[in-house]
Chains A and B, each alone.
Chain A
Amino acid sequence: MNFICNFPFFSILLSLFSGTICSVLPAKAAKVVNRAVIIVIGLLSAILLLYLLSVGEPFVYWMGHFPAPWGNEIRAGVLEAGMAMFFCIIMYLSMAGGAHKLYDEVDESKHNLYYILVNLLLSSLLALVYTNDMFTAYVFVEINTISACGLIMIRQVGRTIEAAVRYMIMSLLGSGLLLFGLCIMYDLTGHLLMSNIKASVGPLVANVEYQIPLIVSIALMCVGLCIKSALFPFHAWLPDAYGYSTVSSAAILSSLVSKGYIFLLIKIIYRVIGFDIFNSTRIIDVLFVFGLMGMIFGSISAIRENDIRRMIAFSSVAQIGYIYMGFGMGTQTGMVASVYHILSHAATKSLLFIAAIGLTEVSGGSRKFVDLTGAGYRNKWAGVAFTVGSLSMVGVPLFSGFISKLLFAQAAVQVEGKMLASLIVLGISTVLNAIYFMKTVIRIYTSVKDSPYESITFGKMKIHAITLMFFILLNVILGVSSQPIVDLIVQGLAMFS
């Protein structure tokens, strides 16, 4: 076994360990350790990705030298390594872009606590991406929930504590359902490792045995993860949690935490249940319908919102709806579109959050649209970045959002029966997106005479502006060189089964 095969295990352990170290370090050192660990893990994942591309097949890593049915396992393929690298990039940019806001909003003595939470979050995300064991996945789902809750309430105002409580309640409902589904699955098959469960589920379906418990178990796991990733009817906690927490937290929560759960669901679909068996159940129709509803109602809520941060948060609900619509189509192309949209949405939504904070800063800290008038002139960099993010969300060519809409449309055309519904809702949702994002862009570029707020110069916001440039670059890369990325996703999904 090649030395590079240790890298997934190293990355998980490194971030867990650095989280522990951060608790005794002063704030400045903790920050350096945190940034360094994110970069190192990103590099390790990149090397792993290159290695896997050259080898062309996934590998399984035994934890503690016990073979398959007994030991715990890590498994890495192209998609896992690519996802881990992408998560590290987004996390680094979000932390860098929101760093100055962290100093304003959080007491300095608590900064090292923040870095502990970020490290824990990263390690749990990596574990969700790499693990091959269902119960390990459950434990890390809970660690993810706890650290995400900490990220929300690190800024101590009434709203964030209430949002954290609401987030915890919904998350605990979700993980309760996930755990129950997982236990039923364990009873049916006698295994906890994903590949072993899949080997036992196939004969169960072929012999038409235990059909009802099997469906119940799949449904419970799906609903649990849907609740946790804020699919449409379960999104009540989301606007407060994203709207009032400190901006790095909001960017990380919207672009990484919910995506970690969705990635786990993809793994469950492919590696635990089997893609064909999952598609033969009616569950995909339910996911499809709720995805469509999320796309419309999320956008409508965003239009009615008068607060820029909450508007972006509601837009997340719509984008999660897109991803579940892709699952609901039940085809390989639909799934590829969903995975691409995970990347595209993560890059765009964190860009929007970080850019929005630049705009509110030059408007006296207010998030109301009235005060934001002309903010694009006062903070040119944030204005440009926000415009790019909006165009990407609406689906203008050159940016990543266009490609994901194109992929969804292509996938929809191939599915009989769901084609019309998906295309119509895709159209409506695009128009609604355009309404609220273009409204905001026009608002920030409406010039006002004798504005009470001062404009900001590049010198005062160097790091923020550079981060925004990297975000724009990432967005354009995703949008322009989409074909290699789509090929990678196809290859990665093929490695899953």
Chain B
Amino acid sequence: MMGPNLFANYGEAVSAILFCIGFTNLLLQTNLIKKIIGLNIMDSAIYLFLAEKGYIAGRVAPIVVDGVTSTEAYINPIPSGLVLTGIVVSVSVTALMLSLTIRLYTRYHTLDLDEISMQLKKEGR
């Protein structure tokens, strides 16, 4: 049962794998830039999942041309709308993370989060 399902839904399977890759990178990398890359992989994987689920082969975006009004001809526009909203959110979060990274780099001259923690302990504040 698993095999044919997996083959038919390979897009979803790929997005789940990418999500896991991004998630582990964000969690386990110590380099801040690599963490941010992980964050972006994770978020993009979710958008891939939404796009994959929202598309039905043979149908087009719901913009009426040539007077075709049957719902069979069009896809649901909401998943695409969600992807757009999600992209806006993830861009702003990435920008915030990058600015924090710059702050830390100018103070401690390293991108390694563990090393920054060590230096902070040494400062003792």
A-side residues, CB < 8 A to B, are 135, 138-139, 142, 145-146, 149, 153, 157-159, 161-162, 164-166, 168-169, 172-173, 176-177, 179-180, 183, 186-187, 192
Cβ contact within 8 Å between A162 and B35: no
Given A172-B26, A180-B46, CB of A161 within 8 Å of CB of B85: no
Q: Is the interface of A mostly helix, strand, loop or mixed?
A: helix
Cβ contact within 8 Å between A172 and B93: yes
Taking the closest CB of chain B, its distance from the CB of A403, in whole angstroms, is 38
B73 touches A (CB below 8 Å) = no
B-side residues, CB < 8 A to A, are 19, 22-23, 26-27, 32, 35, 39, 42-43, 46, 49-50, 53, 78-79, 82, 85-86, 89, 92-93, 96-97, 100-101, 103-104, 107-108, 113, 116-117, 119-120, 123, 125
By a CB distance below 8 angstroms, the chain A residues around B93 are: 142, 145-146, 168, 172
Say which residue of B42, B96, B116 sits within 8 Å of A176 (CB atoms). Answer: B42
By a CB distance below 8 angstroms, the chain A residues around B86 are: 179
Query: In the complex the two chains form, what is the Cα distance from A176 to B44 in whole Å?
Result: 10
Say which residue of B19, B78, B96 sits within 8 Å of A168 (CB atoms). Answer: B96
Q: A146-B93, A158-B120, A165-B113 are in contact. List 17 more A-B contacts (CB 8 A).
A: A138-B89, A139-B85, A158-B107, A158-B108, A158-B116, A158-B119, A159-B125, A169-B27, A172-B26, A173-B26, A176-B46, A179-B43, A179-B86, A180-B19, A180-B49, A183-B50, A187-B53
Query: In the complex the two chains form, what is the Cα distance from A145 to B101 in whole Å?
Result: 17
By a CB distance below 8 angstroms, the chain B residues around A153 are: 100, 103
By a CB distance below 8 angstroms, the chain A residues around B123 are: 158
Cβ contact within 8 Å between B116 and A162: yes
- Most chain A beta carbons < 10 A, residue from B97, B101, B119: B97
By a CB distance below 8 angstroms, the chain B residues around A146 are: 92-93, 96
- Most chain A beta carbons < 10 A, residue from B50, B78, B89, B101: B89
A-B contact pairs, 15 of them (CB 8 A): A146-B92, A149-B96, A158-B116, A158-B119, A158-B120, A165-B101, A165-B113, A168-B96, A172-B93, A176-B39, A176-B42, A180-B46, A180-B49, A183-B46, A186-B79
Given A135-B85, A168-B100, A172-B39, CB of A158 within 8 Å of CB of B125: yes
By a CB distance below 8 angstroms, the chain B residues around A177 are: 23
By a CB distance below 8 angstroms, the chain B residues around A192 are: 78
Cβ contact within 8 Å between A169 and B101: no
Given A142-B93, A159-B120, CB of A183 within 8 Å of CB of B43: no
Query: In the complex the two chains form, what is the Cα distance from A101 to B120 in whole Å?
Result: 23
Taking the closest CB of chain B, its distance from the CB of A305, in whole angstroms, is 15
Query: In the complex the two chains form, what is the Cα distance from A164 to B82 in whole Å?
Result: 28
Taking the closest CB of chain B, its distance from the CB of A301, in whole angstroms, is 17
By a CB distance below 8 angstroms, the chain B residues around A145 are: 93
Say which residue of A161, A164, A169, A187 sits within 8 Å of B107 (CB atoms). Answer: A161
By a CB distance below 8 angstroms, the chain B residues around A165 are: 32, 97, 100-101, 104, 113
By a CB distance below 8 angstroms, the chain B residues around A162 are: 104, 113, 116-117, 120
Q: Is the interface of B mostly helix, strand, loop or mixed?
A: helix
Query: In the complex the two chains form, what is the Cα distance from A129 to B116 in whole Å?
Result: 37
Cβ contact within 8 Å between A161 and B26: no
Query: In the complex the two chains form, what is the Cα distance from A130 to B92 in whole Å?
Result: 24
Taking the closest CB of chain A, its distance from the CB of B2, in whole angstroms, is 11
Query: In the complex the two chains form, what is the Cα distance from A166 to B117 in whole Å?
Result: 11
Query: In the complex the two chains form, what is the Cα distance from A173 to B26 in whole Å?
Result: 7
Find the B residue at minimum CB distance from A180: B46
Query: In the complex the two chains form, what is the Cα distance from A168 to B94 in whole Å?
Result: 10
Cβ contact within 8 Å between A183 and B113: no
By a CB distance below 8 angstroms, the chain A residues around B43 are: 176, 179
Taking the closest CB of chain B, its distance from the CB of A425, in whole angstroms, is 28
Find the A residue at minimum CB distance from B79: A186
- Most chain B beta carbons < 10 A, residue from A135, A146, A162, A164: A162
Find the A residue at minimum CB distance from B113: A165
Say which residue of B32, B79, B89, B117 sits within 8 Å of A142 (CB atoms). Answer: B89
Taking the closest CB of chain B, its distance from the CB of A298, in whole angstroms, is 21
By a CB distance below 8 angstroms, the chain B residues around A135 are: 82, 85
Query: In the complex the two chains form, what is the Cα distance from A183 to B50 in whole Å?
Result: 7
Query: In the complex the two chains form, what is the Cα distance from A153 to B97 in whole Å?
Result: 12
Taking the closest CB of chain A, its distance from the CB of B45, in whole angstroms, is 8
By a CB distance below 8 angstroms, the chain A residues around B107 are: 158, 161
Taking the closest CB of chain B, its distance from the CB of A168, in whole angstroms, is 6
Find the B residue at minimum CB distance from A168: B97
By a CB distance below 8 angstroms, the chain B residues around A139 are: 85, 89
Find the B residue at minimum CB distance from A190: B76
Cβ contact within 8 Å between B53 and A161: no
Closest 3 CB pairs of A and B: A142-B89, A187-B53, A176-B42
Find the B residue at minimum CB distance from A172: B39
Find the A residue at minimum CB distance from B19: A180
Query: In the complex the two chains form, what is the Cα distance from A36 to B92 in whole Å?
Result: 29
By a CB distance below 8 angstroms, the chain B residues around A173 are: 23, 26-27
By a CB distance below 8 angstroms, the chain B residues around A164 are: 100
By a CB distance below 8 angstroms, the chain A residues around B79 are: 186
Taking the closest CB of chain A, its distance from the CB of B18, in whole angstroms, is 11
Taking the closest CB of chain B, its distance from the CB of A485, in whole angstroms, is 36
By a CB distance below 8 angstroms, the chain B residues around A186 are: 79, 82
Taking the closest CB of chain A, its distance from the CB of B5, in whole angstroms, is 11
